[in-house]
Chains A and B, each alone.
Chain A
Amino acid sequence: MLKKLAFTTALTFAAFTLQAQAQEPRRGGTIRFTAPYGASFVSNDSHVSNQIQDEIYGYALHGMLYKWDAKNGKPVLDIAESVQVSADGKTYTYKLRDNALFHNGRKLTSDDVIWSYTRIMDGAKNYPGARYVARIVGATDVQKGQAKEISGLKKIDDSSFSMTLTDKADPGYFLFQAQTAILPAKEAQQPGFFDKPIGLGPFKFVEHVPGSRMAFERWDKYYLAGKPYADKLVISPMGEAAARDVAFRNKEVDVSILGSTQYVAYKADPNLSKGILEVAEVFTRNMGMNPTFKPFSDKRVRQAINYAIDSDLIIKRLVRDKAYRAASWLPLSSPAFDKDAKPYAFDPDKAKKLLVEAGYPDGFEFEWTATPNESWGVPIVEATIPMLAKVGIKVKVKPVETSALGGVVVGGDFQAYIWSNTSGPDSLTALKCFHSSTPRSSCNYTTFKNPAYDKLIDDASNEADAAKQLDLLKKANAMLQEEAPVWFFNYNKAVMAYQPWLHGLQPNATELALQRYEELWIDTTSPAAK
């Protein structure tokens, strides 16, 4: 089944890529994008916001040290032209692009990079990007007010600098987000800078009408020659799926992220179905089980829950196939995903047998914390109740608001919860969340502890050979499936509808709504082609 899914996904990517390559990009026109995760953008300052909504405009306005290569599923250099890595894999020396200019025409220098990262670590401001920059040596000292400069960042000259990390890791995986945008150091400290911010991105800021739109125009001196293609870019925050649907059908916007209801309707429509892009995003929907609740401390009980729930049926009926069945933690788009791995089968008899072996022949009752989310919340929990009841497990639903779930889980105040958690793009970082040294407050929400698993992760962390590291990660992922700290429900299938005149969309598994706008172009059939 998973093989088939992976094959279909790969085929979709390939077809999509071929289609995009078939035509020569055209310059001009306005791209009309939507930001679907709220009614507004938070701020003109990309360092301030923790929300993906703001990343959507950040990719137009800013340059980061890295950018995500969606087609190859890995980070690549953005504002730097080359990097050298030290033998211990901890120090990275970057050479910045000579032709990277801010929107006021000033050339990017290493001072701008160092200042931007130092700003992000301002402990008094608690910028969300601090969790990424914190992996640079000395960054947390700045955050704590114990230093004014990040000791791990050294300026070599105006166009090169070195960066030393606290541990061996590929910084590309955590320095491509707009929360780590490189700002012009001197200009950004001037009053009023963020009223009309400038950056290094493919588009220049024109205006922000809060709650309505953000408009940009092409930056002619962008460092990738000939790009971007479009003259203008307008991004409208549209949190309401139904409103996006009307606007898309009315050809007022070029793209729309689809929910499960619209996904079904669009797939059934002969015209709309031609413009659908599907990606297995790096999110794993799961039910985390707290081992301090006695039944969940037993692996057999956790496995029994995985066997007792008919996940395929729920995905088909409730999620309307807008998800891929999860086998273990790492998603389909992860290089360490084992395409031969089979998910837990729906087998209530086996579940019952495991419960008997674990000493729960009559089952037990547990409290399941869930938000109202339609894809990974109360509706899903309600669907599992009769399935679990058949093996003797009773569920008491504990509803919480979406914004409160994080606090409940981090505080350990649950027996079980259902959530959608990031499981990539870096497989090692994702799997480290189950290392016993990772606290619950970081991401080991189920306080998973297994010495054999720890060893696999430690070995993978220290492994220089990429192929061997991948093999270790696959083994760790398989061990997670066996240990079942969670009910592996599904991997999110992100779906974007696009108009026939829009080209160059990228199947970004980190978040489909995040597009490299410099790659997008519209043909003459667009209503905004001129």
Chain B
Amino acid sequence: MLPYVFRRLLQAIPILLAVAALIFVMFSVIPGNFATSQMADGRSNIDAATIARMNEQFGLNDPLPLRFAKYVGGLATFDLGDSFRTRQPVTALIGERLWPSLQLALAAMAFAIVIGVPLGFFAALKPGSWVDMLSMVFAVSGLSLPMFWLGLLLMYAFALTLNWFPSFGYGNGDPRYIVLPAIALGVSPLALLARTSRAAVLEILHADFVRTARAKGASSYRVMRWHVARNALVIVLTTLGLQFGSVLGQAVVVEKLFAWPGLGSLLVDSVTWRDIPAVQGCILTIVLFFLVVNIAVDVLCAVVDPRIKYS
């Protein structure tokens, strides 16, 4: 197993390099740069000499391949460069924001798993029933709702009308602050998990080995616990990995809406101000998180299902 994990981690390197290269190329093609973005609000008149000095300071006058080579050189030593905006190391900026983002991602996924997976299982056990219909309507709605709109609805309902939770902010360790952003972020993976779980359980319920188990007189609980749930879990885990990996990227909207101090809000501001090192750092962190989570899920799948072997 360990050589497999090691190989997967090595495979992540070219992916990260490709992402870094893509961002470099994109930011060199689109008009504007950090210096000119400073004039965007119409308050500041930055003269040509200052723009030239800023471009020199941030190495923006260097040819693209040279800038990329320098950046990759830095990556090798975990140096993501300094932010143009804050003049601080990007690693420090990400360090400040990573934990709140992870907290939000974990809370959102916990919400999605705790509700989505049982919902899918129950729906599959009674296909065509009102439970099934209702759960699938819920699932489709969850997938279709724009996250921003859902977030606003939650704010209006649970903060403004019912006054159960604060509408924004991080709080001082008060868990009430994470509830609404976690629900807004978790509804989409919840819906997908519910649908996937339902489909997986339905498929396995009709499998030969389940029929055999029942014919041998195994109790319903035993069939569900050892034959259906365990086999369905592999499929659910794969979906879970994909969703968990991407939830950090999806958090951009929710973090901005709820003033949650995660990577997403840092990314939005950095893109606005053409802060290339910060944008690259945030995106690489999100991509790395996605890759690591999926490797972890692959390992978990092998633990759950001994038939899966990684050579």
Contacts and interface: CB of A to CB of B under 8 A. Distances in A.
Contacts of A409: 39
A404 interface: yes
Interface in A214-262: 236-240, 242-243, 246-247, 249-250, 252
Interface stretch (A81-89, A157-165, A438-446): A438-446
A442 B45 contact: yes
A212 B260 contact: yes
Nearest to B172: A209
B274 interface: yes
A9 interface: no
B33 A211 contact: no
Contact of B57 (A126, A128, A400, A442): A126
A43 B88 contact: yes
Q: Interface centre among B54, B160, B259, by most A CB within 10 Å?
A: B259
Contact of A38 (B97, B260, B272): B272
B7 interface: no
In the complex, which of the residues B44, B57, B168, B262 has the most CB atoms of chain A within 10 Å of its own CB atom? Answer: B168
- Chain A's interface size range is 35 or more
A442 B48 CA distance: 8
Contacts of B38: 50, 128, 406
B170 interface: yes
Interface residues of B, number: 57
Interface string B269-302: 1001110000000000000000000000000000
A466 interface: no
A439 B47 contact: yes
Contacts of B258: 243
Contact of B47 (A40, A45, A283, A441): A441
Interface in A24-59: 37-40, 42-43, 45, 48-52
Given A246-B156, A249-B160, A403-B37, A211 B261 contact: yes
A37 B272 CA distance: 11
Nearest to A253: B168
Nearest to B261: A211
Interface in B22-66: 30-33, 35-48, 50-51, 53-54, 57
A146 B155 CA distance: 56
A401 B32 contact: yes
A406 B39 contact: yes
Contacts of B41: 37, 51-52, 420
A252 B165 CA distance: 11
B27 to A, nearest CB: 11
A247 B151 CA distance: 13
Interface string B162-177: 0100111110000000
B85 interface: yes
A506 to B, nearest CB: 19
A128 B87 CA distance: 13
B255 interface: yes
A246 B269 contact: no
B155 A243 contact: yes
Most A C-beta atoms less than 10 A away, residue of B36, B260, B262, B268: B36
B96 interface: yes
Contact of B262 (A52, A211, A213): A211
A455 interface: no
Contact of B260 (A126, A211, A242): A211
A236 B31 CA distance: 31
B87 A43 contact: yes
A236 B265 CA distance: 13
B44 A236 contact: no
B55 to A, nearest CB: 10
A38 B273 CA distance: 11
A313 to B, nearest CB: 24
Nearest to B53: A126
Contacts of A283: 42
A50 B51 CA distance: 13
B198 interface: no
A404 B45 contact: no
Given A125-B87, A238-B259, A246 B167 contact: yes
Indicate the member of A49, A213, A249, A250 with the most B CB atoms within 10 Å. A250
Interface majority SS (helix, strand, loop, mixed), chain A: loop
B73 to A, nearest CB: 22
Nearest to A444: B45
B36 A407 contact: yes
Given A126-B54, A400-B31, A406-B46, A238 B255 contact: no
B159 interface: yes
A39 B36 contact: no
Contact of B31 (A39, A49, A123, A407): A407
A113 B291 CA distance: 51
A130 B255 CA distance: 34
Contacts of A402: 40, 272
B181 to A, nearest CB: 11
A433 B37 CA distance: 20
Contacts of A211: 97, 100, 170, 255, 259-262, 265-266
Contacts of B261: 40, 209-212
A77 to B, nearest CB: 23
12 contacts: A37-B41, A43-B85, A43-B86, A211-B261, A211-B266, A247-B167, A250-B160, A250-B167, A252-B167, A403-B37, A403-B272, A406-B39
User: 10 tightest CB-CB pairs across the interface, nearest first?
Assistant: A406-B39, A404-B32, A211-B261, A407-B36, A403-B37, A39-B265, A212-B261, A441-B48, A212-B170, A404-B31
Interface of A: 37-40, 42-43, 45, 48-52, 123-126, 128, 130-131, 209-213, 236-240, 242-243, 246-247, 249-250, 252, 283, 400-410, 419-422, 433, 439, 441-443
Interface of B: 30-33, 35-48, 50-51, 53-54, 57, 85-88, 93, 96-97, 100, 152, 155-156, 159-160, 163, 166-170, 255-262, 265-266, 268-269, 272-274
Given A212-B170, A407-B32, 17 more contacts: A45-B87, A50-B38, A51-B41, A128-B44, A131-B46, A210-B96, A210-B261, A246-B152, A250-B163, A252-B168, A401-B32, A403-B272, A404-B30, A406-B38, A409-B39, A410-B39, A410-B48
